Structure 1
């Protein structure tokens, strides 16, 4: 029996005013998080608050679409839905390896630069704080949909969210000066990952989308290749998604919002 009517009903009831296409794509993104295809989904698709999203996820569990557990956090008004064991494992790996691929795109620079390893201390500390906050939720029972508010922090959210979303490289900029960047008209390698959610028959679902400035691409190319191979391995270990397609194209934009 198709779950599509139930998925649409759940989104319509708890998230208000959404269309069928929205409901299906959102449900597929949640399923991608649960099965470990990615550790986190940044929810910015409607004005729902964290409790509405929690009720929606509980409904998805009740209709048998997801098994859980999943964890929802609210960071300064941004909602993220997290597979905690997957996210915590990745964050721990980053901290143990001490290899963070961070690109400085501060507006004061003439072009993007890879952030030197000796400047990564504060970012490592922030990742450690995030891991500490997630750790209590690693052993939740199936069906648990937990929520937490993370108080205002000094984190550069662009950077921390990039790591949490499992991007192979992330952007950083000096927030003590402004929130602008130097990516305007800079050639970028845009990477997107599309797949088919065979569980509900949804095609061309974008599960990853990120960019790497061409000026630093050569320094992170090998790491991107390793990331791609790891993604393929993860993809092969699940049964909900098929037809993995990794697309890379060069783009130049007049402005890039981070």
Structure 2
């Protein structure tokens, strides 16, 4: 299959990725973002820099695999690949909401609890900064793979990444006190979304994975159901992926890294 070979060669050339399976999984993840099913993807495949990732995305566009425009966003040396239009629309939606559904998992707490809405001003300001950064790239030509860097020395990146990855609820913890959290041995509902991508010949590709503590589940259940229904509607409106599956299980872990 010529496309599969080209995708592998692009990853090998630009990202120095030699494992065929990982190269194809990465391509499928980026296609998921490109077709609007997910606003962003956290790149953690290799130590490639922003320019190498930009070159790789340009190669995918030149072969007709993605339509674009995509943006390579560097936040504290962590790279996200985002669909500009989807991300701008989603950030606007978040900023219009009264409740952002943020879960406080600071180490000082006995168990997770919903973040007080009157403390959300700083988070809203950070989301606004992201929107301001990305908006100028919204009207670029489809073949343009833009890059950007945003200074975020005091940001809780776990929270911002959660929003950019379109999780229905996101975690926050007080980084001024500790980088630990209170999720140890806490019952968590773990949601996994997986699908099949016939275009690259892969089945059961994990495209979402997130947890919600059982102690706050009732507070986010309605939003979660809306999120799942929205995902199903977007999924049925596209033709790249099939066999959407949402798996739910309850887990209790000795440690949870955020």
* TM-score grouping bracket, smaller chain normalisation: over 0.9
Q: Which residue of 2 aligns with 1:102?
A: 102
CA distance in 2, matches of 1:252, 1:48: 34
Q: Which residue of 1 aligns with 2:256?
A: 256
Which structure 1 residue ranges, 5 or more long, are not aligned? none
Q: Which residue of 1 aligns with 2:217?
A: 217
Q: Which residue of 2 aligns with 1:47?
A: 47
Asked whether 1:143 is paired with 2:143, we answer yes
Which structure 2 residue ranges, 5 or more long, are not aligned? none
CA distance in 2, matches of 1:120, 1:152: 17
**Which stretches of structure 1, 4 residues or more, deviate above 4 A after TM superposition?**
none
Deviation at 1:200, TM superposition (A): 1.5
- C-alpha distance after superposition, 1:193-237 (max 9, x if no partner): 000012222101111000000111111111100000000011111
Compared CA separation, residues 17 and 33, structure 1 to 2 (3 A)? closer
TM-score of the aligned structures, taking structure 1 as reference length: 0.98
| Partner secondary structure for residue 148 of structure 1 | strand
Please, what is the CA RMSD of the aligned residues? 0.9
| Partner secondary structure for residue 177 of structure 1 | coil
- C-alpha distance after superposition, 1:71-105 (max 9, x if no partner): 00111110000001101101101111222000000
Deviation at 1:140, TM superposition (A): 1.1
Q: Which residue of 2 aligns with 1:183?
A: 183
CA distance in 2, matches of 1:84, 1:153: 23
Deviation at 1:191, TM superposition (A): 0.3
Greater Cα shift, 187-196 or 93-102: 93-102
| Partner secondary structure for residue 54 of structure 1 | helix
Q: Which residue of 2 aligns with 1:72?
A: 72
| Partner secondary structure for residue 204 of structure 2 | strand
Asked whether 1:19 is paired with 2:19, we answer yes
Q: Which residue of 2 aligns with 1:56?
A: 56
CA distance in 1, matches of 2:248, 2:240: 24
| Partner secondary structure for residue 257 of structure 2 | coil
**What are the residue-to-residue correspondences of 1:237-252 with 2, within 5 Å?**
237-252=237-252
TM-score of the aligned structures, taking structure 2 as reference length: 0.98
How many residue pairs get matched? 258
Contact 2:17–2:23 (CA under 8 A) maintained in structure 1 = no
Deviation at 1:149, TM superposition (A): 1.5
| Partner secondary structure for residue 82 of structure 1 | strand
CA distance in 1, matches of 2:32, 2:116: 33
